[in-house]
Amino acid sequence: MLFSPIVRITEHMPRYWDTTRQGELKVLSEFTSFAVYFPGYSEGTCVVSIKLFEANTHWFSDDDSNEISHLFDDRKRQESASHGLLYRFTHYNHNKWEQLEMLIEYEKDGRKVTGENGLRIILDGNDVEELGVDERLAFEV
């Protein structure tokens, strides 16, 4: 528990109408900014893995999730934090997915801080929900 990763929404803006620079009135995409903090992280003794998915909560078709881990890896900003590691990321929801889902694995000094199956997180608007072991996410389908 002492070294468990912490996920926080830092800013969320739902879809909204606005006027573009060209004077066109249109609906702008939703965006969510969040931070992931790894307490006690030290280079060389810790390993971090984050998988990020866009998902819909209706499980009726094959297109209900979209892995965007590569976007997270390419665009995350790493910041120095006291006694740990901090990642910041902003997700622009252009395709109107209902929520973001994360699988976080954190290993410190050879011990799996997040357990055998990792830490499962849902980011929905301004809410961050940690799922239990028996709840399913897009990456388990």
Model confidence pLDDT, tens digit, residues 88-119 = 999 999 888 989 999 999 999 999 999 888 99
| pLDDT bracket for residue 134 (50, 70, 90) | low
**54/63 Cα distance (integer angstroms):** 10
In 3D space, the residue among 122, 125, 126, 128 whose CA is nearest the CA of residue 55 turns out to be 122
More confident residue, 11 or 81: 11
pLDDT of residue 105: 95
Tens of pLDDT, residue by residue over 38-81, are: 999 998 899 999 999 999 876 655 558 899 999 999 999 998 77
**103/106 Cα distance (integer angstroms):** 10
- What is the pTM (predicted TM-score) of this model? 0.82
pLDDT of residue 141: 42
More confident residue, 82 or 135: 82
**121/83 Cα distance (integer angstroms):** 23
* Residue 43 identity: E
| Residue 137 phi, psi dihedral angles, 5° rounding | -125, 175
Contacts of 82 (CB under 8 A, 6+ apart): none
Cβ proximity of 56 and 65 under 8 Å:
yes
